[in-house]
Structure 1
Amino acid sequence: MRTSSTPRTSGPLSLRRAGLALTAVTGLVLSGAALAAPSADAAASTTSHRLTTARSCAVASKPGMMACSALKVTSGADSLAPAARSASGVVNPAATPSGYGPADLHSAYALPTTGGSGATIAIVDAQDDPNAESNLATYRSTFGLTPCTTANGCFKKVGQNGTGSLPSPDAGWAEEISLDLDMASAICPQCHILLVEANSASMANLGTSVNTAVSLGAKYVSNSYGGGESSSDTSYDSLYFNHPGVAITVSSGDNGYGVEYPAASRYVTAIGGTTLKRSSTPRGWTETAWSGAGSGCSRYDAKPTWQKDTGCTRRTVADVSAVADPATGVAVYDTYGGDPGWEVFGGTSVSSPIIAAVYALAGTPSAGSYPASFPYAHPSALNDVTSGSNGSCGGSYLCTAGPGYDGPTGLGTPNGVTAFQG
């Protein structure tokens, strides 16, 4: 049964299917065709181009509480292109997941298919996903990725204090966890994955989980959640996010123009979102700013020294971005809850683990460094996103994409790993 904290706006997807074990090329399957056009307002669970979405987690309603940033496609998934094909190129719609798969993402962002061997990406979320490891196994086997299990030392799940004492399960956060694990796997198949589950969605418990992830050796920590800013944020910064030499990524949010915490922390890489489509350009892909991505000027956090934009005297969100539009969403396998099987997800919950895994491919951050600064030293090594908007801000760069830095997409999206080295 779904808990009251995980509202649904429509019935289960028609795509309920088992994963196919496919022939992989360098560990990744061949990609599918282009996806549908972006929704007009995916974050608000509306319908556009036959696509309807719903939040996995209820919006955070009080200070100090966070909500996950996963948006699930609840209907219209037949408009999304298959992510996996058989060796013959024939799609079996009853068995093949829709949404972008690993090969699509590697192609879009010019990422290597090797690298990150033995590096640990930590995923920090609230509540427990009892099926996390088995779901991950299905995703990886479907896309031809090597197993990542507790038994082979690749996967580990702990509670917020680093022990085997786990929180109570929650179907909405379980969807978030499945999404995060799948995206980390898609980008860095050779990385190890550490899942740290907080006792609740409070900033205190999630922040404790971040500290635990770092104490257990993770150099890359993804956080796909956020809530309203508060005067406590600068204290949270020092308590939970000031970890030199560790790349900490945070979703910018799915509510359009406006700033969330902890994306506003000066110590993290705030991750915006794009609409990603195949094209006939030399790159083979085009991107525009996703209308749901969070951005703007923080009320409380000071501007980090590496940010040079002049329209905001404090911290500006975001730094970089990746695909987040549910209408160009990604394939995810989840079985905990009332609608198990292959699903399609968007939201900046997609882009945060993608970028954390890109950092892992780029190599261990130098001691004492703040990896959030790395892209600012290599802006030409990113795909500049120059069109699209996430709201109304008088036409400024804070909500409107354009050449160079802008709020919704930051400096742009990965074009290889150079921008994430330092």
Structure 2
Amino acid sequence: MRPRSLALASALAVLPLTVVSLGVTAAQAAPSPNAATSRVALPNTVTPAVARSQKQAALPAAQQISVAVSLKLRNTADLDRFLKAVSTRGTAEFGHYLTPAQFNARFGPTQADVNQVRTYLAAQGLTVGSVSANRQVVNAHGTAAQLAKAFGAHESTYVDPLHSRTFFANETAATIPTQLASVVQGITGLTNYTVRTTRIAKPNTVVPHATPSGFGPSQYDGAYDLNKVGTDGTGVKVALWEFDGYTASNLTTYDSQFGLSGPAVSTVSVDGANYNSAPGQGQGEVELDSEIVRGVAPKATQLVYEAPNTDQGELDMAAQIVSDNQVSVVSISWGSCEPDTTAASMTAVNNSFKQAAAQGISIFSASGDDGSRDCTRSTSGANVKAVDFPASSPYNTGVGGTNLSVNGTSYSSESAWSTAGGGVSTQFAKPSWQTGTGVTGTMRTVPDVSSNADPQSGFAIYTQGTSAPGWQVYGGTSAAAPLWSGYAALYNQKAAAAGKANLGEANPKLYSIANSASYNSTFHDVTSGANQDFSTKAGYDQVTGWGTPVADSLANALLNSGGTQTGNTVTVTAPANQNGTVGTAASLQVTGSDSDTTQSLTYSATGLPAGLSISSTGLITGTPTTAASGTVTVTATDGTGATGSASFSWTVAAAPAGCTPAQLLADPGFESGAPGAWSATSGVFDNGTSEPAHSGNWKAYLDGYGSAHTDTLSQTVSIPAGCNASFSFWLHVDTAETGGSANDTLTVAANGTTLKSFSNLDANTGYTQQTVDLSAYAGQTVTLKFTGTEDDSMQTSFVIDDTALNVS
């Protein structure tokens, strides 16, 4: 994919690409998949570059390759219905977005689907790696020979004559066993032909300037009335979608120059990528994105997601952003032309974009810098009409480009940028909301909106130059996409203050407004200029979309049609995936919250292992009776009927032979009311109400005096040989200490060896369950001891309840 930023205000020379030798020295001699096993082909898993490249030789059989297996979504008809309803005014679901857990429970692949794929991959000799949190991506790696066995994908090296570069790829479609066909969406990573490269020469070919030229924030904020929205992005998080890194000092220099302040930009690594120590040729792209968002919404928090520049990296980044669910806006300035991109890869990434829409996340993507011939600088060439992905995704707002003229800090006029991306998708059908465009046909058109992008009316950006950082002038639709992303941050802050939902999937709302009587007051309709194949016209066109924002008027129109959050929002906190053993007691407290704090929640669950049950308060208890693995979904319901859900896996293993499952501690909940089996200092056994028990009436209460004090609690028990052993307890820490020092401590020890330690810094509002593996003590007598030590300042209370030492 290519960043859309680097259209510079001066002519730049294109840097040649060199051939990379893969050192093909040994022929691949991989077995074909078992012919006796019924298999199906996965369509669109061959990179289009193969058809235009020269085959060289088989890839060495031992060559290591990393792949990502994408899994299909479930209940897709209901998902499509929900996505339409959640963005359509007047429906019951309008503006009521899902959490990741709710999306996974209703539409995501199941844990059983993941397990089926993992089992197959491992059986073919592949090493199975990470699984995305939304269960849509299973990563694995192995040799070319093992991939051939798994997917019938015989890998060869090719030379792309247009770019004089060598790559590897599969020549025919990948295949999978028939029994996986209902689960597997596609395979990504069978080729290392990447089209995510910069479109033109890099910014370090231009000598930077000591002072800024080009548009600064006051000019573009004033021209588009962004400064009249009345917000600054406070409380809103924006993700920047990147395949390179940045230098933090360049960003702070930009802020200082224009008097901006806001939260520091932070990096989120995807698949281990973190380019910031040595940014590459895409550094200017990352810094452009960040600086434009800062200029529009200075107080918004920016999370820079950095991924490897591969199909797999892109897929994993999309899955991680929606699973993290930290942001309400995503800005994308990298893309690839559709004909040069594997359709299976686009479909897999688009599934995460669907999840983003369901969760209320807006995505703005640059439409490209090669006009209606987006493949001009790639394999398919300039003769092909093409649009850019991911701007072509129906769940992205594609942002085109203009040339903006200003009068001081006020809007003067605008025309189309002659190389702004636009046209008709060959991958995605026209969505139901894309009306009023005057474009016939059944496929999606791009762009949807636009803003300034012509480098002749470019932006002042502080970034790395030939040998040092300095001021440069950048254009490109990758300047337009972050401008709209910053606008969405302004809107989301304004909507929250008005009790409205996030903007979410923007296009259905934008098209509704554009097709209404308020169009001319909410958009600057750009009616002059053209790209290679399309001209501007009144209303929508395939160069500038509906036009550029009149930000304050558009925000007001959106607020009038925005989803009001009239219903309660219930959120269940997803527990970690659970493991247990047949015959070993289990206890897990599930918690949730309600937007209406006066409501109480009632819990239920599906998929619990046999022998377990859940109370109305969310406590799962019992003793598993059957070895199995499955997905548990816990739902919380409040008094108004509002619900929230969370899902997690629970695996129960068979009990080891020769060990009788049992719980060994005497008086595990302290309900005897006095030391007996336990040895304890005075006052530790407690039934007072100042610190309530986790269950029952009694608990162990260590310290809490606010003076120098030490309390102890211990019990000695014998662990049978040949058993697995697990010690657990529920702990609540309450403190009056302030500051960041661990003044008061609690240690948990076995035969004098510290197993866990806690302090006043671990204070929480309720109990948390702690677990320690004691299997190493099998066949021994062990003394378990809690020691609470308090200094002579403020109090810290360590409250312990519902202990257990389970063997199995």
Residue 253 of structure 1 aligns with which residue? 368
Residue 101 of structure 1 aligns with which residue? 216
The structure 2 residue matched to 1:166, chosen from 274, 280, 284, is 274
User: Which amino acid is the alignment partner of residue 378 of structure 1?
Assistant: I
- Asked whether 1:354 is paired with 2:489, we answer no
Residue 235 of structure 1 aligns with which residue? 348
CA RMSD of superposed structures (Å): 3.4
SS at the partner of 1:196?
strand
Native 8 Å contact 2:449 2:545 kept in 1: yes
The structure 1 residue matched to 2:528, chosen from 387, 392, 406, is 387
Native 8 Å contact 1:222 1:248 kept in 2: yes
Output the CA distance in 2 between the equivalents of 1:191 and 1:44.
26
The structure 2 residue matched to 1:319, chosen from 448, 453, 457, is 448
- With normalisation by structure 1, the TM-score equals 0.73
Native 8 Å contact 1:77 1:98 kept in 2: no
SS at the partner of 2:401?
strand
Cα distance, 1:329–1:182 mapped onto 2, change above 3 Å:
same
My pick for the range that moved more, 188-197 or 237-246, is 237-246
My pick for the range that moved more, 215-224 or 113-122, is 113-122
User: Which amino acid is the alignment partner of residue 440 of structure 2?
Assistant: G
Output the CA distance in 1 between the equivalents of 2:7 and 2:296.
28
SS at the partner of 1:148?
coil
Native 8 Å contact 1:377 1:419 kept in 2: no
Cα distance, 1:269–1:160 mapped onto 2, change above 3 Å:
same
Native 8 Å contact 1:171 1:336 kept in 2: no
Residue 12 of structure 1 aligns with which residue? none
Output the CA distance in 1 between the equivalents of 2:393 and 2:459.
27
Instruction: Return the structure number with greater strand share.
Output: 2
Native 8 Å contact 1:401 1:407 kept in 2: yes
Output the CA distance in 1 between the equivalents of 2:15 and 2:249.
20
The CA deviation at 1:243 is 1.0
User: Which amino acid is the alignment partner of residue 269 of structure 2?
Assistant: G
Output the CA distance in 2 between the equivalents of 1:75 and 1:190.
32
Output the CA distance in 1 between the equivalents of 2:470 and 2:210.
10
Output the CA distance in 1 between the equivalents of 2:269 and 2:467.
24
The CA deviation at 1:362 is 1.0
SS at the partner of 2:356?
coil
Residue 51 of structure 1 aligns with which residue? 10
Residue 432 of structure 2 aligns with which residue? 305
**How big is each residue's C-alpha offset from its partner over 1:133-171, in whole Å with a ceiling of 9 and x where there is no partner?**
21111000100011532xxxxx2112115x7x6247443
My pick for the range that moved more, 343-352 or 59-68, is 59-68
My pick for the range that moved more, 241-250 or 216-225, is 241-250
Residue 373 of structure 1 aligns with which residue? 508
The structure 2 residue matched to 1:221, chosen from 308, 313, 330, is 330
Output the CA distance in 2 between the equivalents of 1:306 and 1:262.
18
User: Which amino acid is the alignment partner of residue 126 of structure 1?
Assistant: F
| CA radius of gyration, larger in | 2
Unaligned runs of 5+ in 1: 7-41, 79-93, 150-154, 393-398
Output the CA distance in 1 between the equivalents of 2:13 and 2:224.
27
The CA deviation at 1:377 is 1.9
The CA deviation at 1:183 is 0.4
The structure 1 residue matched to 2:292, chosen from 144, 164, 183, is 183
Residue 66 of structure 1 aligns with which residue? 196
Output the CA distance in 2 between the equivalents of 1:360 and 1:98.
26
The structure 2 residue matched to 1:116, chosen from 233, 236, 240, is 233
Cα distance, 1:57–1:357 mapped onto 2, change above 3 Å:
farther
The CA deviation at 1:114 is 3.1
Output the CA distance in 1 between the equivalents of 2:237 and 2:319.
14
User: Which amino acid is the alignment partner of residue 270 of structure 1?
Assistant: G
The structure 2 residue matched to 1:276, chosen from 404, 411, 435, is 404
Cα distance, 1:367–1:273 mapped onto 2, change above 3 Å:
closer
Output the CA distance in 2 between the equivalents of 1:70 and 1:417.
35
**How big is each residue's C-alpha offset from its partner over 1:365-412, in whole Å with a ceiling of 9 and x where there is no partner?**
8379522222112221111111100113xxxxxx21111000111011
The structure 2 residue matched to 1:211, chosen from 319, 338, 347, is 319
The CA deviation at 1:247 is 0.6
User: Which amino acid is the alignment partner of residue 337 of structure 2?
Assistant: G
Cα distance, 1:76–1:226 mapped onto 2, change above 3 Å:
closer
Cα distance, 1:118–1:74 mapped onto 2, change above 3 Å:
same
Cα distance, 1:56–1:265 mapped onto 2, change above 3 Å:
farther
Q: Which has the higher contact order (CA 8 A, sep 6+)?
A: 1
**How big is each residue's C-alpha offset from its partner over 1:42-94, in whole Å with a ceiling of 9 and x where there is no partner?**
9998xxxx93246799899986632356877789999xxxxxxxxxxxxxxx7
**How many equivalent residue pairs?**
347
User: Which amino acid is the alignment partner of residue 336 of structure 2?
Assistant: G
Native 8 Å contact 1:116 1:360 kept in 2: yes
Output the CA distance in 2 between the equivalents of 1:373 and 1:74.
40
The structure 2 residue matched to 1:144, chosen from 259, 278, 294, is 259
Residue 417 of structure 2 aligns with which residue? 290
- With normalisation by structure 2, the TM-score equals 0.40
The CA deviation at 1:117 is 0.6
Native 8 Å contact 1:247 1:372 kept in 2: no
SS at the partner of 1:194?
strand
**How big is each residue's C-alpha offset from its partner over 1:203-245, in whole Å with a ceiling of 9 and x where there is no partner?**
4312422333331411100010111214222333114454121
Native 8 Å contact 2:262 2:300 kept in 1: no
Percent of residue pairs bearing the same amino acid type: 32
Output the CA distance in 2 between the equivalents of 1:339 and 1:400.
41
The structure 2 residue matched to 1:403, chosen from 538, 541, 544, is 538
Output the CA distance in 1 between the equivalents of 2:526 and 2:198.
25
Cα distance, 1:126–1:241 mapped onto 2, change above 3 Å:
farther
Output the CA distance in 2 between the equivalents of 1:355 and 1:219.
13
User: Which amino acid is the alignment partner of residue 51 of structure 1?
Assistant: S
The structure 1 residue matched to 2:390, chosen from 251, 262, 273, is 262
Native 8 Å contact 1:279 1:286 kept in 2: no
Native 8 Å contact 1:249 1:269 kept in 2: yes
